[in-house]
Structure 1
């Protein structure tokens, strides 16, 4: 099957959507499908359109070429339906899998054009629409998106609920992000350290709330110096100001801001850590939290987000509803390390239900539904070529 994955954002830009789209497309190729990524993210200065990922994944980059018909913000470009149809028809695509967040002009244009032309289409939402629901609803109604013959999905139950509301009750499936839990499982068990290490991995941007987490950790340190150490991993526009705030707190806090680390370094860090913290209340999925849970770490996360799909309160970790409750929960765990050890034993013994084989199977089932909705697999490229 020829599958095109459309995403406004892609590598070399780093983020959850970018990595998940790449991994999904590569694993589908390993199962025998022909997959291509279509994006407006440039590969770099002077890079040609239609470059390929080192792993053998073709990437069509719609940048400064005949399809680039308007300016955009960062990687985002506006695309009229006709231009998108030309690209898809040239690729002779059997199915389109569109990946969108809240602002995804390429994704929306591709979904609208492909669905109208008769190409089986799945639209995956990778972000939480709760805070922008009124705006998204107006946009969706303007384009009559609820009536499109596409299959809608989101990366978690929480994300799906908002999409369902925006689309006035249209069914929305859950297609989670993928992971290989065994790749993250720490090989050797170790007891909770006398001075436990708290860890968090995130982009240093406002919606991930690293500043609130840093201030909660500084408050915990002030209440009990030397009771823990903490490592916050990630890069982003807030990193420099966070480092200044940490430096102003003085030496001896036991808190470190590492900047970005690669996956190998993160695995090593998780192996030496005791508790994972996920402070964002609007986390659509929480892949870093799932990686930590797969490694065996208990997770303390905000309730109401995607983490709740794989962390049950009191079983794989704890779900909290405010910064104050997060701080109080961590303080109570530092007072009772036996609770940390108990959840860690469970997480090591019981693998999470989310894994790549299940994600690939679930994607395949959604593709079948999309094909049934459009009538057949085979007509897509022909219809795209003849659509006006």
Structure 2
């Protein structure tokens, strides 16, 4: 089940009394990391960087290769990168090798970042009992489509007996993790942003027609094909009434670019490829609406950034985006691609609805700011320390100290 304080971060009850910065050596373990680009990669980097700024000696252990391991804000230790056997960044690291790396790095606490297929992270989570290190597990993906498989694996590994604290990045993701773990308590530890980075002044001389924008990796699970289908249909029903900018790289990008070009939609529908963060902020500054088409979005950091920039957001219902987008308040949640198309058409026909939501989003800040997320992480670390000290103590935020 989802923890009884799963949403505590949004209510200001994120830590036990007196609990502050951990001042500990925290190992963040993630199969995927920079320079590979994605939501998990950036979130791990940003979390570690902010912990270090406040005094924690945090670092990253990963199997992702080919990075600058001397970046000043985040130390990175890359394991197994010379091994030929593997799939992309994923490598199997034996228990003894990982335990030796944790000893060599003098880790005092482990924060594991896990998706469905994360060999390094699953190994680190399983080792919590043998290493004696307090361990927090953050699930960054939606397990709904893999529940039977993950449940069987978790039972085989006896995951519900591990002396760890389980978390997920959103309420809907936490429910699936709890179901996979036979109703184990799963807390919500959301992703974070710095609102000041995304509060954007609207430049003069903006385009006279509404600009729709989406930022995503061009991979199947993000559903960029479905979004292009919707935009092409919208162009047929509302010719010349909008322009769309899709930002992001990935294996599907060349095919999508050819499709847009062959449809004659350019320049109304532009696929820009990957852009650095300052360029994305510039795109958001000229946009009027953000679209998130993925139906299995565990959190939706790009949507949160757009909402913080003042954009109304249209997203699929039943995703992590519902934690910060309420229907007709910060945006709209739709149940299908057909409903997405209808909602976009309706907003183009009634721009006053867009203006009302945009005005609210420009003057309010979502609760997932980094100070709140850091405090929530501290509460999870405290629970993990209690759990490791006494495995019979429930590893939840509200457990007695």
* Closer/same/farther in 2, CA of residues 132 and 53 from structure 1, 3 Å limit: farther
TM-score, scaled relative to structure 2? 0.89
Q: Give the Cα–Cα distance (whole angstroms) in 1 for the partners of residues 273 and 161 of structure 2.
A: 44
* Closer/same/farther in 2, CA of residues 309 and 192 from structure 1, 3 Å limit: farther
Q: Which residue of 2 aligns with 1:247?
A: 261
User: Does 2:98 align with 1:81?
Assistant: no
Q: Give the Cα–Cα distance (whole angstroms) in 2 for the partners of residues 181 and 5 of structure 1.
A: 24
* Closer/same/farther in 2, CA of residues 88 and 122 from structure 1, 3 Å limit: same
User: Does 2:369 align with 1:355?
Assistant: yes
Q: Which residue of 185, 197, 202 maps to 2:199?
A: 185
Q: Which residue of 2 aligns with 1:385?
A: none
> Is the CA contact 2:168–2:174 (under 8 Å) kept in the aligned structure 1?
yes
User: Does 2:135 align with 1:118?
Assistant: no
Q: Which residue of 2 aligns with 1:52?
A: 69
Residue pairs, 1:366-385, within 5 angstroms: 366-375=380-389
Q: Which residue of 131, 149, 154 maps to 1:135?
A: 149
* Closer/same/farther in 2, CA of residues 38 and 251 from structure 1, 3 Å limit: closer
Q: Give the Cα–Cα distance (whole angstroms) in 2 for the partners of residues 152 and 115 of structure 1.
A: 14
Q: Which residue of 2 aligns with 1:340?
A: 354
* Larger mean Cα displacement after TM superposition, 360-369 or 244-253: 244-253
User: Does 2:34 align with 1:8?
Assistant: no
> Is the CA contact 1:193–1:274 (under 8 Å) kept in the aligned structure 2?
no
CA positional deviation for 1:60: 0.8
- 1:220-276: CA deviation from partner (whole Å, max 9, x where unpaired): 101121010000111100011101111121155611111111111111111100000
> Is the CA contact 2:167–2:174 (under 8 Å) kept in the aligned structure 1?
yes
Q: Give the Cα–Cα distance (whole angstroms) in 2 for the partners of residues 192 and 343 of structure 1.
A: 19
Residue 71 of structure 2 aligns to a residue whose secondary structure is coil
- 1:189-233: CA deviation from partner (whole Å, max 9, x where unpaired): 879964100000000000000011001000010112101000011
Residue 230 of structure 1 aligns to a residue whose secondary structure is strand
Q: Give the Cα–Cα distance (whole angstroms) in 1 for the partners of residues 321 and 281 of structure 2.
A: 19
Q: Which residue of 2 aligns with 1:22?
A: 45
Instruction: Tell me the C-alpha RMSD between the 2 structures.
Output: 1.7
Q: Which residue of 2 aligns with 1:383?
A: none
User: Does 2:185 align with 1:171?
Assistant: yes
**Number of residue pairs aligned between Structure 1 and Structure 2:** 367
Q: Give the Cα–Cα distance (whole angstroms) in 2 for the partners of residues 251 and 203 of structure 1.
A: 21
Q: Which residue of 302, 313, 320 maps to 1:288?
A: 302
TM-score, scaled relative to structure 1? 0.91
CA positional deviation for 1:71: 2.2
Q: Which residue of 2 aligns with 1:222?
A: 236
- 1:328-351: CA deviation from partner (whole Å, max 9, x where unpaired): 000000000000000000001111
* Larger mean Cα displacement after TM superposition, 184-193 or 24-33: 184-193
